[in-house]
Amino acid sequence: MPLSQLTTHTLLSLGKHPLSGRTRRAEQDAKAFELAAKLGQCLGLHAGNYQDADALKSFAGMSIAPVCILEIEQSADPVAALSAYFKQTKSDIILTGSQAERGESSGMLPYLLAKSLDLPVINQVCEVEQTEAGLNITQALPRGARRAISVKPPCILIIDESAPEARQTAYGAAMRAEVGKLQGYNETDTDAASFNFEDASKKPKRMKKIKAKTAADRFKAATVSQAKGGQVIEPKTSQEGAEAILKLLKEEGLVKTN
Amino acid sequence: MANQVKRVDPHIERIKRNRLHPRHLELTATAISMGPNGVIRKDPHKIGFMGPNGIKRIDRANLNQASGSSVNQMQIEEQKPKHIIESPTRYIVVLPDLAAGRLSSHDKDVLGYAHSLANENTAVIAIAFGEHKETGWQDAGVDRLLELNDDIYQGFSPEARIQALVQIEQSLDVAHFLFPDSIDGGADLGRRFAAELDSRPVTHGWKPLEDSIICRASAGTQDLTKTLSKVMLLDAEVADPIDETQHAASTLDELELAVSAKALINDLGMLAVNPADISLSVAPFILSGGNGIRDWDTFHQAASVLGATEGASRVAVDDGFMPRHRQVGASGIWVSARVYIAVGISGAVQHLQGISQVDKVIAINTNTKCDMIKRADLSIIADSTDILNALVELVQAQEISEGESHAA
Ligand SMILES: Cc1cc2nc3c(=O)[nH]c(=O)nc-3n(C[C@H](O)[C@H](O)[C@H](O)COP(=O)(O)OP(=O)(O)OC[C@H]3O[C@@H](n4cnc5c(N)ncnc54)[C@H](O)[C@@H]3O)c2cc1C
């Protein structure tokens, strides 16, 4: 039985090169777009100003799907606009990055959108597969671990860094592409108007604090090296040595205990 | 740490030697002795001591153990001042990640920050979702502990957890909910909860000011000062961890949570990952070989049997036994494993630099004097091939016996 055709939207934002500061495609969104390429019919959507159309062409240059701008005013809240859009246009999957490269970059957008549309949201997604029951999702956890999750569309998926690399954008295709335009719903984000951004100041390195109460402790802290040196075993048989190692591995939960 | 220190009181020693001293009997007499029939006898006249006003005192609570003996076994346990909140009127809730089941240093920093926001009527609650192995709640600054480890909270269960948090927010007067802004779970749960409450959170907060906090914005390239919010997601090192006070960490049980098990998101469990595919810098378990490996086939077999990611010292790489991207150290990869087994690696500084982030190091080496053994938590002085072979046999034997017990 052929699987039903899914409609997918990828939310695209403008990136900023961390060193040159030049406008570029947001890398995470590009990864999301790449993942959307294999999930059926797709549209790239950006809520913002139509003046940014040129910069968004780099997404169109990936030749995955058309790119469209949901036009809203400078001070308007993109979440409200997107929410209004998705209430009218149904989408099975909405793919987003985890954090914008400009502005507040709080990473709240997918969660707020999920709340207003009443959809499940899954973070750190690195693979999506369509099954008869819905979607099988691989979630990337720290230290290379992976978790399997199943969910029924419609849903919102937040892409992880470890998702497959996005393809490059082709300059010619990007220049030829037309960026669509839709009128978005405007709702002013009052908090954001008062935001005052400054260049990031450097985080100081945390110093080791010595909180000794007595002179003897202070003297010890200043003179004795902290290197403790662990347990040293000279095993009679190699079996004995191996058991000691295995015991520690079991304590750390790295080898299954029976 | 508990340090047993023996202290001799020369004053009592002198009284014990001087039979004419008024307190001589009191200090030398043994009040409890075996009677002629083997029955334990207590002599009531010999119990106790003379108080300052000439009245006999019996110390039943054992407050003054020092009196009969001149040697005082003193427990030098740092007696931290206790921080007890009897009847809090306001709460600050912290949701530690408990990555690997324990409080991470990031969790402890957030707990430290919670106390900087607390006043004398504020109790800091820590909520532990799922299973954990943590025992040091009291020292980390937890006034109240709420352990939620029913089945519905296990694994990836954001919906149940959010329901529980919403009910806690409704039933207690919570000033702030603090989350570590980390990929171990805090970043996700905190944002879900902020969206649920529809309150704009502080995210990536890193530098507390008087009534506000500086947050990282624009993916870490800019700073943005925000006022304190109900839900706050905080970066590591936002504040110093608590280490000078001892807290009650008493259970918070007056809460009745009604959480439905219905979920749209189903956790199907962890996937088996080939350890060789995990990038060396984040791998949790590394078996690393150096110039002391005689038999590389055994090494590879041991790595696959143990499920460890392979690493190597520079000499092993230069000699062509291992590929360059497996090299650990200053000119290779800086690893952050929880356990690192160094087989036949001497522990040159360039190598030790690369493993400075590692939790536990196990060394297998023939030389007791080498630097790796000074760094290691467990060192086995033996031939590398023998130990690796024994390890492989042991693990395989265990798997077979496990298989049989499952079959039975
Ligand atoms: C600029 C610079 C950068 C460097 N960067 C790195 C780096 O990134 N990473 C790195 O690893 N090195 C680096 N090095 C090299 C480093 O100084 C050491 O030379 C190297 O780490 C030593 O590797 P080793 O411990 O495997 O070998 P050795 O020093 O030869 O040690 C072998 C160890 O194996 C033990 N042994 C011998 N036989 C057995 C046996 N049968 N069973 C058990 N144990 C046995 C020996 O007792 C000895 O301790 C760098 C050097 C320089 C100059």
Average pLDDT, stretch A177-185? 93
| 3-state DSSP assignment of residue A214 | coil
CA neighbor of A161 nearest in space, from A105, A109, A97: A97
pLDDT at B1: 46
* B178, pLDDT greater than 70: yes
Contact B195 A232 (CB under 8 A): no
**pLDDT score of A143:** 87
pLDDT in tens, A34-65: 999 988 889 999 999 999 899 899 999 999 99
* Chain-chain contact of A242 with B362 (C-beta, under 8 angstroms): no
What mean pLDDT is reported for chain B?
87
Query: Is B406 a residue whose pLDDT tops 80?
Result: no
- Cβ-based contacts under 8 A for chains A and B: 219
Q: In chain B, what percentage of residues exceed pLDDT 70? A: 92
Amino acid at position B59, single letter: D
Beta bridge partners of A95: A10, A157
Which residue would you say has higher pLDDT here, A228 or A180?
A180
- Ligand 1 pocket: which of B287, B294, B313, B379 to mutate (most atoms <8 Å of CB)? B313
Interface test with chain A among B387, B395, B399, B405, by most A beta carbons within 10 Å: B387
Q: What span, in angstroms and rounded, lies between the C-alpha atoms of B128 and B243?
A: 20
Q: Does A210 touch chain B (CB under 8 A)?
A: no
For B347-363, write each residue's pLDDT tens digit: 999 999 999 989 899 99
Q: What is the pLDDT of residue B322?
A: 94
The shortest C-alpha distance from A173 to chain B (Å) reads: 29
- How far apart are alpha carbons B248 and B84 in whole angstroms? 6
Average pLDDT over residues B101-124: 93
The CA distance from B152 to the nearest CA of chain A, in Å, is 15
Mean pLDDT of B304-310: 92
Alpha carbons B335 and B311: distance in angstroms, whole number: 9
How does DSSP classify residue A134?
A: S
Asked if A212 has any chain B CB less than 8 Å from its own CB, the reply is no
As a whole-number percent, the residues of chain B with pLDDT over 90 amount to: 61
Give the pLDDT score at B408: 45
Distance CA B64, CA B91 (A): 39
Q: Is the pLDDT of residue B328 over 90?
A: yes
Other CB atoms within 10 Å distance of the CB of residue A83: 19
- Report residue B100 as tokens: 């690997």
The confidence band for A229, taking pLDDT boundaries of 50, 70 and 90, is low
Q: For residue range B38-90, list pLDDT tens digits in order.
A: 788 777 777 777 777 778 777 776 665 544 455 555 555 557 888 888 888 99
| Residue B77: predicted pLDDT | 56
Sign of CA dihedral B310, B314, B320, B326: positive
Mean pLDDT of B253-277: 86
Tell the burial category of B62 from Cβ atoms under 10 Å away from its Cβ (0-12, 13-18, 19+): exposed
Nearest to A162 by CA among A150, A147, A175: A147
The reported pLDDT for the residue numbered A227 is 58
Whether B331 has a pLDDT exceeding 70, the answer reads yes
* CA dist., res. A184 & res. B2, Å (int): 66
Determine the residue type at A156: I
pLDDT at B405: 58
Q: Is B330 in the pocket of ligand 1 (CB under 6 A)?
A: yes
The pLDDT of residue B67: 46
Length of chain B (residues): 408
Whole-number average pLDDT of chain A? 90
The secondary structure of residue B242, as a DSSP letter, is: P
What pLDDT is stored for residue B388 in this prediction?
94
φ/ψ of residue A211, rounded to 5: -110, 70
pLDDT at res. A230: 80
Tens digits of residue pLDDT in A103-125: 899 999 999 999 999 999 999 99
Distance A237 CA to ligand 1 centre (A): 26
> pLDDT > 90: what percent of chain A?
63
Is residue B2 predicted with pLDDT exceeding 60?
Answer: no
* Helix B384-407, helix B296-306: angle, nearest 10: 40
Which residue has the least CA distance to atom 50 on ligand 1? B350
CB B92 within 8 A of CB B117: yes
Does B107 have pLDDT greater than 90?
A: yes
Q: Give the integer Cα–Cα distance in Å for A150 and B264.
A: 9
- What is the rounded distance in angstroms from the CA atom of residue B186 to the CA atom of residue A161? 17
Residue B367 has pLDDT above 50, yes or no: yes
Task: Compute the nearest-CA separation of B287 from chain A (Å).
Answer: 12
Please report, as a single letter, which amino acid is at residue B226: K
- CA-based nearest distance A156→chain B, Å: 11
A239 compared with B47, residue with greater pLDDT: A239
Q: Give all domains of chain B, ordered by start, each with its CATH number.
A: 2-79 (no CATH), 85-251 (3.40.50.620), 276-407 (3.40.50.1220)
Averaged pLDDT, A216-228:
69
Ligand 1 pocket mutation pick from B318, B327, B343, B345 by most atoms within 8 angstroms of CB: B345
Contact (CB<8Å) A155/B380: no
- Torsion from C-alpha of A67, A70, A76, A80, nearest 10 degrees: -100
Q: What is the pLDDT of residue B403?
A: 61
Q: Which of B218, B285, B381 is closest, CB to CB, to A234?
A: B381
Q: Which pLDDT score is estimated for A218?
A: 78
Per-residue pLDDT of B10-35, as tens digits, reads 888 888 888 888 888 777 766 677 77
Q: Which of B280, B291, B341, B375 to mutate to test the pocket of ligand 1 (most atoms within 8 A of CB)?
A: B291
